[in-house]
Chains A and B, each alone.
Chain A
Amino acid sequence: MAEFIQHVINGISLGSVYALIAIGYSMVYGILQLINFAHGEVVMLSSVFGFYVAPYFLAHMDPSIGLFLVVLTVAMVGCGIVGFLIERLAYRPLRKAPRINCLITAIGVSLFIQYFTQLDFVFGAIPQSYPELMSREVYFTIAGAEVSNLQVLVLGLSFVLMVALQWIVYRTKLGKAMRAVSENTEVSALLGIPVDRVISFTFILGSVLAAAAGTLVSTMYPKVDALMGTLLGLKAFVAAVLGGIGSIPGAVLGGLVMGMAEEFTVGYLSSSFRDAIAFAILIVVLLVRPSGLLGKSRIEKV
Protein backbone atom coordinates (compact mmCIF):
# COMPACT_ATOMS: atom_id res chain seq x y z
CA MET A 1 0.00 0.00 0.00
CA ALA A 2 2.73 2.43 0.97
CA GLU A 3 4.48 1.65 -2.26
CA PHE A 4 1.33 2.35 -4.27
CA ILE A 5 0.77 5.70 -2.58
CA GLN A 6 4.41 6.55 -3.13
CA HIS A 7 3.99 5.94 -6.85
CA VAL A 8 0.88 8.08 -6.93
CA ILE A 9 2.69 10.95 -5.24
CA ASN A 10 5.69 10.67 -7.51
CA GLY A 11 3.42 10.36 -10.52
CA ILE A 12 1.50 13.50 -9.65
CA SER A 13 4.61 15.56 -9.17
CA LEU A 14 6.16 14.33 -12.41
CA GLY A 15 2.81 14.83 -14.09
CA SER A 16 2.59 18.44 -12.89
CA VAL A 17 5.85 19.15 -14.67
CA TYR A 18 4.56 17.58 -17.88
CA ALA A 19 1.37 19.59 -17.46
CA LEU A 20 3.27 22.88 -17.22
CA ILE A 21 5.06 22.09 -20.47
CA ALA A 22 1.99 20.66 -22.20
CA ILE A 23 0.04 23.89 -21.58
CA GLY A 24 2.53 25.74 -23.78
CA TYR A 25 2.08 23.29 -26.66
CA SER A 26 -1.66 23.47 -26.31
CA MET A 27 -1.95 27.26 -26.15
CA VAL A 28 0.24 27.78 -29.20
CA TYR A 29 -1.60 25.07 -31.09
CA GLY A 30 -4.93 26.62 -30.15
CA ILE A 31 -3.90 29.96 -31.54
CA LEU A 32 -1.75 29.08 -34.58
CA GLN A 33 -2.55 25.40 -35.22
CA LEU A 34 1.21 24.98 -34.98
CA ILE A 35 3.08 22.34 -33.03
CA ASN A 36 5.92 24.37 -31.61
CA PHE A 37 8.62 21.71 -31.56
CA ALA A 38 11.05 24.23 -30.09
CA HIS A 39 9.04 24.31 -26.87
CA GLY A 40 11.06 21.48 -25.29
CA GLU A 41 14.21 23.49 -25.98
CA VAL A 42 12.79 26.37 -23.97
CA VAL A 43 12.50 23.97 -21.02
CA MET A 44 16.14 23.00 -21.51
CA LEU A 45 17.24 26.63 -21.72
CA SER A 46 15.51 27.30 -18.43
CA SER A 47 17.87 24.82 -16.79
CA VAL A 48 20.84 26.31 -18.63
CA PHE A 49 19.91 29.78 -17.38
CA GLY A 50 19.61 28.38 -13.85
CA PHE A 51 22.96 26.62 -14.21
CA TYR A 52 24.68 29.90 -15.06
CA VAL A 53 22.97 32.28 -12.65
CA ALA A 54 22.60 30.08 -9.57
CA PRO A 55 26.32 30.27 -8.60
CA TYR A 56 26.09 34.08 -8.39
CA PHE A 57 23.21 33.89 -5.99
CA LEU A 58 24.73 30.95 -4.11
CA ALA A 59 27.62 33.26 -3.23
CA HIS A 60 25.18 35.33 -1.19
CA MET A 61 22.45 32.88 -0.21
CA ASP A 62 22.16 29.36 1.16
CA PRO A 63 20.10 26.75 -0.66
CA SER A 64 16.53 27.59 0.27
CA ILE A 65 13.12 28.25 -1.17
CA GLY A 66 14.16 31.88 -1.52
CA LEU A 67 17.13 30.93 -3.71
CA PHE A 68 14.88 28.68 -5.76
CA LEU A 69 12.43 31.50 -6.34
CA VAL A 70 15.17 33.92 -7.36
CA VAL A 71 16.63 31.49 -9.89
CA LEU A 72 13.12 30.63 -11.07
CA THR A 73 12.39 34.29 -11.71
CA VAL A 74 15.55 34.74 -13.77
CA ALA A 75 14.76 31.59 -15.79
CA MET A 76 11.19 32.78 -16.37
CA VAL A 77 12.33 36.15 -17.66
CA GLY A 78 15.00 34.54 -19.85
CA CYS A 79 12.62 31.96 -21.30
CA GLY A 80 9.90 34.54 -21.80
CA ILE A 81 12.32 36.51 -23.96
CA VAL A 82 13.39 33.36 -25.84
CA GLY A 83 9.76 32.42 -26.49
CA PHE A 84 9.01 35.90 -27.74
CA LEU A 85 12.02 35.83 -30.08
CA ILE A 86 11.23 32.37 -31.46
CA GLU A 87 7.80 33.55 -32.53
CA ARG A 88 8.95 36.93 -33.74
CA LEU A 89 11.91 35.71 -35.78
CA ALA A 90 10.91 32.24 -36.93
CA TYR A 91 7.13 31.92 -37.05
CA ARG A 92 5.81 35.40 -37.72
CA PRO A 93 7.40 35.73 -41.17
CA LEU A 94 5.57 32.52 -42.08
CA ARG A 95 2.15 33.64 -40.93
CA LYS A 96 0.60 33.28 -44.36
CA ALA A 97 2.72 30.31 -45.46
CA PRO A 98 1.35 26.77 -45.69
CA ARG A 99 1.29 24.96 -42.40
CA ILE A 100 3.86 22.38 -43.44
CA ASN A 101 6.43 25.18 -43.83
CA CYS A 102 5.79 26.25 -40.25
CA LEU A 103 6.12 22.70 -39.01
CA ILE A 104 9.46 22.24 -40.74
CA THR A 105 10.61 25.58 -39.36
CA ALA A 106 9.60 24.50 -35.86
CA ILE A 107 11.79 21.41 -36.17
CA GLY A 108 14.58 23.62 -37.50
CA VAL A 109 14.33 26.03 -34.58
CA SER A 110 14.39 23.12 -32.17
CA LEU A 111 17.54 21.64 -33.73
CA PHE A 112 19.15 25.07 -33.97
CA ILE A 113 18.72 25.72 -30.25
CA GLN A 114 19.94 22.22 -29.35
CA TYR A 115 23.09 22.47 -31.40
CA PHE A 116 23.73 26.10 -30.54
CA THR A 117 23.56 25.19 -26.86
CA GLN A 118 26.01 22.35 -27.42
CA LEU A 119 28.68 24.70 -28.70
CA ASP A 120 31.62 24.85 -26.32
CA PHE A 121 31.40 28.57 -25.74
CA VAL A 122 27.68 28.37 -25.00
CA PHE A 123 27.02 25.40 -22.72
CA GLY A 124 28.71 22.42 -24.29
CA ALA A 125 27.76 18.89 -25.21
CA ILE A 126 28.63 17.37 -21.85
CA PRO A 127 25.87 17.18 -19.26
CA GLN A 128 26.59 19.18 -16.11
CA SER A 129 25.14 18.91 -12.67
CA TYR A 130 22.62 21.53 -11.73
CA PRO A 131 23.41 23.56 -8.60
CA GLU A 132 21.49 22.57 -5.51
CA LEU A 133 18.88 25.26 -4.99
CA MET A 134 17.12 23.46 -2.17
CA SER A 135 18.24 20.42 -0.24
CA ARG A 136 15.86 17.51 -0.39
CA GLU A 137 14.28 16.40 2.84
CA VAL A 138 11.26 14.40 3.80
CA TYR A 139 8.49 16.86 4.40
CA PHE A 140 5.90 14.46 5.75
CA THR A 141 4.78 10.86 5.41
CA ILE A 142 1.32 9.56 4.65
CA ALA A 143 0.50 5.89 5.06
CA GLY A 144 4.16 5.09 4.97
CA ALA A 145 4.79 7.03 1.77
CA GLU A 146 7.32 9.81 1.89
CA VAL A 147 6.61 13.22 0.48
CA SER A 148 9.69 15.35 -0.01
CA ASN A 149 9.83 19.11 0.29
CA LEU A 150 10.69 19.21 -3.42
CA GLN A 151 7.52 17.35 -4.28
CA VAL A 152 5.50 19.75 -2.21
CA LEU A 153 7.23 22.57 -4.04
CA VAL A 154 6.43 21.04 -7.43
CA LEU A 155 2.78 20.59 -6.54
CA GLY A 156 2.42 23.98 -4.89
CA LEU A 157 4.14 25.92 -7.65
CA SER A 158 2.29 24.09 -10.41
CA PHE A 159 -0.99 24.74 -8.68
CA VAL A 160 -0.27 28.43 -8.20
CA LEU A 161 0.82 28.84 -11.82
CA MET A 162 -2.20 27.03 -13.18
CA VAL A 163 -4.57 29.13 -11.09
CA ALA A 164 -2.74 32.25 -12.28
CA LEU A 165 -3.05 31.09 -15.87
CA GLN A 166 -6.74 30.42 -15.44
CA TRP A 167 -7.14 33.91 -14.04
CA ILE A 168 -5.27 35.45 -16.96
CA VAL A 169 -7.23 33.54 -19.59
CA TYR A 170 -10.67 34.13 -18.09
CA ARG A 171 -10.37 37.43 -16.28
CA THR A 172 -7.94 39.69 -18.12
CA LYS A 173 -8.55 41.44 -21.40
CA LEU A 174 -5.42 40.01 -23.01
CA GLY A 175 -6.34 36.50 -21.85
CA LYS A 176 -9.84 36.85 -23.26
CA ALA A 177 -8.27 38.08 -26.49
CA MET A 178 -6.19 34.86 -26.54
CA ARG A 179 -9.39 32.86 -26.44
CA ALA A 180 -10.92 35.07 -29.12
CA VAL A 181 -7.92 34.65 -31.43
CA SER A 182 -7.85 30.89 -30.93
CA GLU A 183 -11.54 30.68 -31.77
CA ASN A 184 -11.42 32.93 -34.83
CA THR A 185 -8.39 34.96 -35.86
CA GLU A 186 -10.10 36.85 -38.65
CA VAL A 187 -13.02 37.97 -36.49
CA SER A 188 -10.62 38.95 -33.71
CA ALA A 189 -8.79 41.29 -36.07
CA LEU A 190 -12.13 42.76 -37.12
CA LEU A 191 -12.85 43.56 -33.49
CA GLY A 192 -9.65 45.58 -33.27
CA ILE A 193 -7.70 42.93 -31.37
CA PRO A 194 -3.99 43.24 -32.24
CA VAL A 195 -3.59 39.60 -33.22
CA ASP A 196 0.20 39.62 -33.48
CA ARG A 197 0.55 41.05 -30.01
CA VAL A 198 -1.78 38.40 -28.63
CA ILE A 199 0.29 35.68 -30.32
CA SER A 200 3.49 37.10 -28.80
CA PHE A 201 1.81 37.13 -25.41
CA THR A 202 0.81 33.48 -25.83
CA PHE A 203 4.38 32.44 -26.59
CA ILE A 204 5.69 34.40 -23.61
CA LEU A 205 3.12 32.84 -21.31
CA GLY A 206 3.86 29.30 -22.51
CA SER A 207 7.60 29.86 -22.20
CA VAL A 208 7.30 31.20 -18.66
CA LEU A 209 5.48 28.02 -17.67
CA ALA A 210 8.13 25.96 -19.46
CA ALA A 211 10.75 27.83 -17.44
CA ALA A 212 9.05 26.75 -14.24
CA ALA A 213 8.97 23.16 -15.49
CA GLY A 214 12.67 23.22 -16.40
CA THR A 215 13.72 24.70 -13.09
CA LEU A 216 11.62 22.15 -11.20
CA VAL A 217 12.97 19.21 -13.21
CA SER A 218 16.55 20.26 -12.62
CA THR A 219 15.91 20.83 -8.95
CA MET A 220 14.48 17.32 -8.59
CA TYR A 221 16.93 15.56 -10.92
CA PRO A 222 19.95 17.86 -10.69
CA LYS A 223 21.32 17.60 -14.19
CA VAL A 224 21.53 19.93 -17.17
CA ASP A 225 21.93 18.57 -20.65
CA ALA A 226 21.56 20.37 -23.98
CA LEU A 227 19.46 17.43 -25.20
CA MET A 228 17.18 17.14 -22.18
CA GLY A 229 14.44 19.18 -23.87
CA THR A 230 13.79 16.60 -26.55
CA LEU A 231 12.34 13.84 -24.44
CA LEU A 232 10.65 16.15 -21.93
CA GLY A 233 9.14 18.08 -24.80
CA LEU A 234 7.97 14.98 -26.61
CA LYS A 235 6.35 13.52 -23.53
CA ALA A 236 4.63 16.79 -22.73
CA PHE A 237 3.50 16.98 -26.33
CA VAL A 238 1.98 13.52 -26.00
CA ALA A 239 0.32 14.72 -22.80
CA ALA A 240 -1.17 17.67 -24.70
CA VAL A 241 -2.47 15.36 -27.43
CA LEU A 242 -3.81 12.97 -24.81
CA GLY A 243 -5.72 15.77 -23.09
CA GLY A 244 -6.91 17.24 -26.37
CA ILE A 245 -4.51 19.66 -27.98
CA GLY A 246 -5.74 23.24 -27.83
CA SER A 247 -7.38 22.73 -24.43
CA ILE A 248 -5.63 24.04 -21.32
CA PRO A 249 -7.52 21.81 -18.82
CA GLY A 250 -6.82 18.97 -21.23
CA ALA A 251 -3.10 19.67 -21.07
CA VAL A 252 -3.20 19.55 -17.27
CA LEU A 253 -5.15 16.30 -17.23
CA GLY A 254 -2.95 14.79 -19.95
CA GLY A 255 0.18 15.77 -18.04
CA LEU A 256 -1.04 14.13 -14.84
CA VAL A 257 -2.09 10.93 -16.60
CA MET A 258 1.23 10.85 -18.37
CA GLY A 259 3.26 11.31 -15.17
CA MET A 260 1.23 8.66 -13.44
CA ALA A 261 1.54 6.20 -16.31
CA GLU A 262 5.30 6.67 -16.41
CA GLU A 263 5.70 6.26 -12.68
CA PHE A 264 3.57 3.11 -12.58
CA THR A 265 5.41 1.65 -15.54
CA VAL A 266 8.70 2.19 -13.77
CA GLY A 267 7.33 0.91 -10.48
CA TYR A 268 5.47 -2.20 -11.58
CA LEU A 269 6.87 -3.12 -14.99
CA SER A 270 10.41 -2.08 -15.67
CA SER A 271 12.25 1.19 -15.75
CA SER A 272 13.42 0.38 -19.25
CA PHE A 273 9.85 1.07 -20.43
CA ARG A 274 9.97 4.57 -18.87
CA ASP A 275 10.10 6.40 -22.16
CA ALA A 276 8.29 3.84 -24.28
CA ILE A 277 5.04 4.29 -22.36
CA ALA A 278 4.66 7.84 -23.69
CA PHE A 279 4.69 6.63 -27.25
CA ALA A 280 2.42 3.72 -26.48
CA ILE A 281 -0.06 6.25 -25.09
CA LEU A 282 0.32 8.43 -28.17
CA ILE A 283 -0.45 5.55 -30.50
CA VAL A 284 -3.46 4.45 -28.49
CA VAL A 285 -4.87 7.99 -28.33
CA LEU A 286 -4.41 8.55 -32.03
CA LEU A 287 -6.16 5.27 -32.78
CA VAL A 288 -8.98 5.45 -30.27
CA ARG A 289 -9.69 9.11 -29.65
CA PRO A 290 -7.60 11.47 -31.77
CA SER A 291 -9.33 14.53 -30.34
CA GLY A 292 -8.01 13.63 -26.88
CA LEU A 293 -9.76 13.33 -23.53
CA LEU A 294 -11.13 16.89 -23.33
CA GLY A 295 -10.66 18.00 -26.92
CA LYS A 296 -13.52 18.87 -29.19
CA SER A 297 -13.52 16.67 -32.23
CA ARG A 298 -13.31 18.90 -35.21
CA ILE A 299 -12.53 18.45 -38.83
CA GLU A 300 -8.91 19.24 -39.59
CA LYS A 301 -8.59 22.06 -42.06
CA VAL A 302 -5.49 20.69 -43.76
Chain B
Amino acid sequence: MNDERHTIVRVINVKKDFPLGRQTVRVLKGVDLEIMAGEYISIMGPSGSGKSTLFNMIGGLDKPTDGKVFIDEVDISQLDAYELAWLRNRKIGYIFQTFNLIPVMTALENVTLPMTFAGMHGDDAQDKGIELLKLVGLGERFQHKPLELSGGQQQRVAIARSLANDPAIILADEPTGNLDLSTGAEIIELLKMLSAERGVTVISATHDYKMLNVSDRVVWIRDGMIDRIENRDELDISVGGITEVEGAPA
Protein backbone atom coordinates (compact mmCIF):
# COMPACT_ATOMS: atom_id res chain seq x y z
CA MET B 1 0.00 0.00 0.00
CA ASN B 2 2.67 2.47 0.91
CA ASP B 3 5.81 2.85 -1.15
CA GLU B 4 8.10 4.05 1.62
CA ARG B 5 7.57 2.06 4.79
CA HIS B 6 8.83 3.81 7.85
CA THR B 7 9.14 2.88 11.45
CA ILE B 8 6.21 4.36 13.35
CA VAL B 9 6.91 2.94 16.81
CA ARG B 10 10.36 2.23 18.15
CA VAL B 11 10.75 0.81 21.64
CA ILE B 12 14.31 0.79 22.90
CA ASN B 13 15.29 -1.24 25.94
CA VAL B 14 12.19 -0.29 27.90
CA LYS B 15 12.11 -1.33 31.53
CA LYS B 16 9.32 -0.72 33.96
CA ASP B 17 9.32 -1.14 37.72
CA PHE B 18 6.28 -0.94 39.95
CA PRO B 19 6.53 -0.39 43.68
CA LEU B 20 5.03 -3.30 45.58
CA GLY B 21 5.06 -2.57 49.25
CA ARG B 22 8.68 -1.87 50.12
CA GLN B 23 10.06 -3.70 47.14
CA THR B 24 9.83 -2.94 43.49
CA VAL B 25 8.88 -5.49 40.90
CA ARG B 26 10.35 -5.27 37.43
CA VAL B 27 7.44 -5.89 35.09
CA LEU B 28 9.23 -5.07 31.83
CA LYS B 29 12.81 -6.24 31.70
CA GLY B 30 14.16 -4.53 28.62
CA VAL B 31 11.89 -4.64 25.59
CA ASP B 32 13.06 -3.73 22.09
CA LEU B 33 10.49 -3.48 19.36
CA GLU B 34 10.14 -1.81 16.01
CA ILE B 35 6.78 -1.43 14.32
CA MET B 36 6.36 -0.29 10.74
CA ALA B 37 3.60 2.04 9.63
CA GLY B 38 0.53 0.17 8.45
CA GLU B 39 1.37 -3.06 10.24
CA TYR B 40 -1.12 -5.13 12.20
CA ILE B 41 0.73 -6.29 15.31
CA SER B 42 -0.51 -8.52 18.07
CA ILE B 43 1.19 -8.60 21.42
CA MET B 44 0.51 -12.01 22.91
CA GLY B 45 1.43 -13.57 26.20
CA PRO B 46 0.11 -15.04 29.39
CA SER B 47 -1.74 -12.97 31.96
CA GLY B 48 0.59 -10.76 33.95
CA SER B 49 3.38 -10.94 31.39
CA GLY B 50 3.36 -7.16 30.93
CA LYS B 51 1.29 -6.68 27.77
CA SER B 52 -0.84 -3.88 29.11
CA THR B 53 2.19 -2.28 30.70
CA LEU B 54 3.99 -2.22 27.35
CA PHE B 55 0.82 -1.01 25.66
CA ASN B 56 0.59 1.91 28.10
CA MET B 57 4.22 2.87 27.43
CA ILE B 58 3.66 2.89 23.68
CA GLY B 59 0.48 4.90 24.08
CA GLY B 60 2.13 7.55 26.21
CA LEU B 61 -0.16 6.71 29.12
CA ASP B 62 2.72 5.76 31.38
CA LYS B 63 6.43 6.49 31.44
CA PRO B 64 9.13 3.81 31.32
CA THR B 65 11.49 3.49 34.28
CA ASP B 66 14.31 3.14 31.79
CA GLY B 67 14.59 3.12 28.03
CA LYS B 68 12.80 5.11 25.38
CA VAL B 69 9.71 5.01 23.22
CA PHE B 70 9.76 6.83 19.91
CA ILE B 71 6.61 7.55 17.95
CA ASP B 72 7.64 8.43 14.44
CA GLU B 73 11.17 9.09 15.66
CA VAL B 74 9.98 11.52 18.36
CA ASP B 75 10.97 10.56 21.90
CA ILE B 76 7.64 10.81 23.70
CA SER B 77 9.26 11.26 27.11
CA GLN B 78 10.39 14.65 25.82
CA LEU B 79 6.86 15.84 25.11
CA ASP B 80 5.17 18.30 27.42
CA ALA B 81 1.55 17.99 28.56
CA TYR B 82 0.13 19.80 25.54
CA GLU B 83 2.12 17.77 23.09
CA LEU B 84 1.11 14.53 24.78
CA ALA B 85 -2.54 15.54 24.69
CA TRP B 86 -2.13 16.37 21.02
CA LEU B 87 -0.50 13.02 20.38
CA ARG B 88 -3.36 11.21 22.11
CA ASN B 89 -5.93 13.31 20.36
CA ARG B 90 -4.70 13.21 16.79
CA LYS B 91 -2.25 10.42 16.35
CA ILE B 92 -3.32 7.54 18.56
CA GLY B 93 -6.71 5.91 18.89
CA TYR B 94 -7.26 3.83 22.03
CA ILE B 95 -9.54 0.84 22.36
CA PHE B 96 -9.99 -0.87 25.70
CA GLN B 97 -11.25 -4.19 26.92
CA THR B 98 -14.00 -2.51 28.90
CA PHE B 99 -14.96 -0.23 25.98
CA ASN B 100 -14.75 2.82 28.22
CA LEU B 101 -17.34 4.91 26.48
CA ILE B 102 -18.57 7.93 28.36
CA PRO B 103 -21.89 6.70 29.76
CA VAL B 104 -23.70 10.03 29.80
CA MET B 105 -23.11 10.67 26.11
CA THR B 106 -24.78 9.10 23.09
CA ALA B 107 -22.81 6.94 20.67
CA LEU B 108 -22.49 9.86 18.30
CA GLU B 109 -21.35 12.24 21.02
CA ASN B 110 -18.75 9.73 22.15
CA VAL B 111 -17.39 9.59 18.63
CA THR B 112 -17.39 13.33 18.09
CA LEU B 113 -15.77 14.25 21.42
CA PRO B 114 -12.17 13.82 20.16
CA MET B 115 -13.11 15.90 17.12
CA THR B 116 -14.39 18.63 19.41
CA PHE B 117 -11.07 18.58 21.25
CA ALA B 118 -9.35 18.82 17.89
CA GLY B 119 -11.31 22.00 17.19
CA MET B 120 -13.54 20.58 14.49
CA HIS B 121 -16.75 22.48 13.78
CA GLY B 122 -19.89 20.94 15.27
CA ASP B 123 -21.69 20.12 12.01
CA ASP B 124 -18.60 18.68 10.36
CA ALA B 125 -17.99 16.55 13.45
CA GLN B 126 -21.59 15.27 13.34
CA ASP B 127 -21.27 14.30 9.71
CA LYS B 128 -17.96 12.59 10.22
CA GLY B 129 -19.21 10.85 13.35
CA ILE B 130 -22.22 9.42 11.51
CA GLU B 131 -19.98 8.35 8.67
CA LEU B 132 -17.65 6.55 11.09
CA LEU B 133 -20.54 4.86 12.88
CA LYS B 134 -21.79 3.64 9.51
CA LEU B 135 -18.31 2.38 8.74
CA VAL B 136 -18.34 0.21 11.87
CA GLY B 137 -21.87 -0.98 11.11
CA LEU B 138 -23.86 1.14 13.57
CA GLY B 139 -25.59 3.45 11.12
CA GLU B 140 -28.94 3.71 12.90
CA ARG B 141 -27.95 3.54 16.50
CA PHE B 142 -26.06 6.77 16.98
CA GLN B 143 -28.56 8.32 19.37
CA HIS B 144 -28.29 5.46 21.84
CA LYS B 145 -26.42 5.70 25.13
CA PRO B 146 -23.68 3.09 25.70
CA LEU B 147 -25.74 1.15 28.24
CA GLU B 148 -28.46 0.68 25.64
CA LEU B 149 -25.98 -1.09 23.36
CA SER B 150 -24.60 -4.62 23.46
CA GLY B 151 -20.93 -5.22 24.25
CA GLY B 152 -20.08 -5.76 20.61
CA GLN B 153 -21.92 -2.59 19.64
CA GLN B 154 -20.17 -0.61 22.36
CA GLN B 155 -16.83 -1.83 21.12
CA ARG B 156 -17.81 -0.74 17.61
CA VAL B 157 -18.56 2.72 18.94
CA ALA B 158 -15.17 2.69 20.65
CA ILE B 159 -13.52 1.76 17.36
CA ALA B 160 -15.37 4.56 15.58
CA ARG B 161 -14.22 6.91 18.32
CA SER B 162 -10.63 5.78 18.00
CA LEU B 163 -10.82 6.74 14.33
CA ALA B 164 -12.24 10.19 15.03
CA ASN B 165 -9.18 12.22 14.10
CA ASP B 166 -7.74 9.80 11.53
CA PRO B 167 -4.99 8.50 13.81
CA ALA B 168 -1.86 6.85 12.50
CA ILE B 169 -1.93 4.24 15.25
CA ILE B 170 -4.72 2.31 16.92
CA LEU B 171 -3.80 0.80 20.26
CA ALA B 172 -6.17 -1.90 21.39
CA ASP B 173 -5.75 -3.57 24.78
CA GLU B 174 -7.69 -6.85 24.67
CA PRO B 175 -10.40 -5.44 22.42
CA THR B 176 -12.20 -8.79 22.37
CA GLY B 177 -11.63 -9.66 26.02
CA ASN B 178 -15.21 -8.96 27.11
CA LEU B 179 -16.92 -10.28 23.99
CA ASP B 180 -18.18 -13.70 22.99
CA LEU B 181 -16.39 -15.65 20.26
CA SER B 182 -18.36 -14.57 17.22
CA THR B 183 -18.68 -10.93 18.28
CA GLY B 184 -14.95 -10.94 18.99
CA ALA B 185 -14.32 -12.32 15.51
CA GLU B 186 -16.40 -9.52 14.01
CA ILE B 187 -14.43 -6.90 15.91
CA ILE B 188 -11.15 -8.44 14.76
CA GLU B 189 -12.43 -8.46 11.18
CA LEU B 190 -13.33 -4.80 11.52
CA LEU B 191 -9.89 -3.87 12.85
CA LYS B 192 -8.25 -5.80 10.04
CA MET B 193 -10.41 -4.03 7.48
CA LEU B 194 -9.48 -0.63 8.92
CA SER B 195 -5.83 -1.47 8.90
CA ALA B 196 -5.97 -2.64 5.29
CA GLU B 197 -8.20 0.12 3.91
CA ARG B 198 -7.02 3.09 5.92
CA GLY B 199 -3.39 2.17 6.40
CA VAL B 200 -3.72 2.54 10.16
CA THR B 201 -1.13 0.77 12.26
CA VAL B 202 -2.97 -1.53 14.63
CA ILE B 203 -1.23 -2.69 17.79
CA SER B 204 -3.25 -4.93 20.01
CA ALA B 205 -2.44 -6.68 23.24
CA THR B 206 -4.45 -9.85 23.50
CA HIS B 207 -4.66 -13.47 24.41
CA ASP B 208 -7.28 -14.12 21.79
CA TYR B 209 -5.85 -16.59 19.30
CA LYS B 210 -8.33 -15.42 16.67
CA MET B 211 -6.09 -12.37 16.39
CA LEU B 212 -3.28 -14.48 14.98
CA ASN B 213 -5.01 -15.01 11.64
CA VAL B 214 -5.09 -11.34 10.81
CA SER B 215 -1.80 -10.18 12.32
CA ASP B 216 1.16 -9.28 10.15
CA ARG B 217 3.43 -10.06 13.06
CA VAL B 218 2.93 -11.49 16.50
CA VAL B 219 5.09 -10.42 19.42
CA TRP B 220 5.15 -13.07 22.12
CA ILE B 221 5.85 -11.69 25.57
CA ARG B 222 6.81 -13.83 28.49
CA ASP B 223 7.72 -12.57 31.93
CA GLY B 224 8.39 -9.01 30.84
CA MET B 225 10.59 -9.88 27.91
CA ILE B 226 10.05 -10.53 24.24
CA ASP B 227 10.10 -14.26 23.80
CA ARG B 228 9.92 -14.27 20.01
CA ILE B 229 8.47 -12.34 17.11
CA GLU B 230 6.76 -14.27 14.37
CA ASN B 231 5.89 -13.08 10.88
CA ARG B 232 2.62 -13.92 9.20
CA ASP B 233 4.15 -16.63 6.98
CA GLU B 234 5.79 -18.41 9.88
CA LEU B 235 2.56 -18.18 11.79
CA ASP B 236 0.19 -20.22 9.63
CA ILE B 237 1.75 -23.42 10.81
CA SER B 238 1.55 -22.63 14.48
CA VAL B 239 -2.00 -21.28 14.15
CA GLY B 240 -3.13 -24.68 12.94
CA GLY B 241 -1.55 -26.17 16.02
CA ILE B 242 -3.06 -23.63 18.33
CA THR B 243 -6.59 -23.86 16.97
CA GLU B 244 -6.42 -27.57 17.45
CA VAL B 245 -5.28 -27.17 21.00
CA GLU B 246 -7.87 -24.48 21.70
CA GLY B 247 -10.68 -26.36 20.07
CA ALA B 248 -12.68 -25.25 17.07
CA PRO B 249 -13.56 -21.54 17.04
CA ALA B 250 -17.19 -20.54 16.73
Q: Do these two chains really belong together in a complex?
A: no
Which residues in A have some Cβ–Cβ distance to B below 8 Å?
none
- B residues in contact (CB < 8 Å) with A: none
